Structure 1
């Protein structure tokens, strides 16, 4: 007697539900993600040239960053080198005027964080005419 063999079904995995779940997760994460909006500070960088001397503008705010990170505003040293003291001194000096030229001069050995702190405080206070001084190299 000859028995007929049963045909074996081929085993496969249906990927359609898996793809649906992945798309739902993707949509969920896209909707629930929060994006931070960062404030940007526009900087006007000066160009060093061989012609002429640097002109000192009247009514400007000149912040000098020393080698150890100490701040001097228009020739007056600050008691502390933190951002709050710098902010208070700038508010006292500038008052409501935010369109005055804001000049940053930093020592070559000054920490980058000290210069960034000055730029950050100036940006948060709303100063728009920010410039960084350069020194002409002796090779020119």
Structure 2
């Protein structure tokens, strides 16, 4: 029997599995980056002249109050409902149905009031609708 203490074996670091994993990751990254170039959209942006912006389109402003009252181009609409709003929008459009319509509704306005404006715009033939909003204010510190 051999009772002499054994010398502890020095620990070995096996680098082969580490290298295998790194090669797999490297191959994956190489393949994924080469395909991303082919999936990009090629977009040619239009060019605008500053001279064309001299006559911006006149928009129609519709304001909706919290109580459901309407004003078209800062003129109160006398008749309530879609019919009065349709007549006011038709007068404001003056036959130019390409003009954009900007709807500026109060935050507390009923959803139906905004839908009435959209319905009146559809009846008149105004198809370019935009909703106005304001930036949220950060709390004072």
Q: Give the alignment's TM-score, normalised by structure 2.
A: 0.56
Offset at 1:58? 5.6
Provide the alpha-carbon RMSD of the alignment.
1.7
- Where do 1:1-140 residues align within 5 Å? 59-139=58-138
Offset at 1:83? 0.7
> Secondary structure, in 3 states, of the residue corresponding to 2:61?
strand
Q: Give the alignment's TM-score, normalised by structure 1.
A: 0.56
- What is the total number of aligned residue pairs between the two structures? 84
Distance in 2 separating the partners of 1:88 and 1:73: 10
CA contact (8 A) 1:70 1:80 kept: no
4+ residue runs over 4 A deviation: none
> Secondary structure, in 3 states, of the residue corresponding to 1:79?
coil
> Secondary structure, in 3 states, of the residue corresponding to 2:130?
strand
Q: Deviations over 1:38-90 (max 9, x none)?
A: xxxxxxxxxxxxxxxxxxx6621000000100001111111122111111111
Distance in 1 separating the partners of 2:124 and 2:74: 21
Higher CA-based Rg: 2
Structure 1 spans left out of the alignment, 5+ residues: 1-56
Distance in 2 separating the partners of 1:64 and 1:80: 15
Match of 2:51?
Answer: none
Structure 2 spans left out of the alignment, 5+ residues: 1-55
